[in-house]
Structure 1
Amino acid sequence: MYYQLILHHAFSSIKVIFNIYPSYTEMIYNQEKRYTSHDLESMIKKFFGYSIPLNDIHNLILGAPKNVFNIKYDHHGNLKNAKYMNSKEIWEIQYIEYYNTPTVFPKKIKLFHKKDFINIKIYRWIY
């Protein structure tokens, strides 16, 4: 497996797991139903009605997203925030916290679009 993304709904017990591999994504909904797709964003749009910029999630989590502008860095040289263009929509990315390890990786990231926001928390890095 490449990596795993778990989405929790803020007001219910719904949990959706995405196992993301290099060539496809597997979605496990409510620990029972399984779906696969080559396009993570289309899968989320189809099942949940949201357009979330996750096809480039790997680069976003590493702090090196593509299609960004208005980039700002913190005093350590780490990405602090940027604007992200996705399917004609502009999202703001904020890198809230980084792990303090020899290799600096993000710990908390927030994505904002209009009134919507997504919190991304990375619990561990395996390297």
Structure 2
Amino acid sequence: MRFGLITNGDLAFQRRKVEAVGLDTRMEHLIASGEVGVAKPDRRIFEHACSVFGVRPSDAAYVGDRLRTDAIGAARAGLTGIWLNRRGVAPTAEDVAEAARLGVIELSSLAAVPRALVAETN
């Protein structure tokens, strides 16, 4: 698996945060809205990230902790959208319906991501 990060922020600031927690060695690419000119949930930032990775959106997954901004935005762009709902947040009925229509996967733990991705491909 390859890993990257999409953030709605300034590249330099986000890079410092990623380095501070030691994730810089795990992240192949850091995509920042400040550099791309569009922010999540705009499909173009997800499409840009896929282009940088050289993969089709249908072959990529995006995990985020915001349902609309992250998971629904990614799914609208053709990626597998995964909502990391650690706190058991109750989304709006509108978001629930759209997430269901787009096939968004809701998980409560990062540990569940590999199993969810395997199930998605079967």
TM-score by length of 1: 0.31
Larger % of strand: which? 1
Larger % of helix: which? 2
* Structure ID, larger Rg: 1
TM-score by length of 2: 0.32
Bigger RCO of structures 1 and 2 (CA < 8 A, at least 6 apart): 2
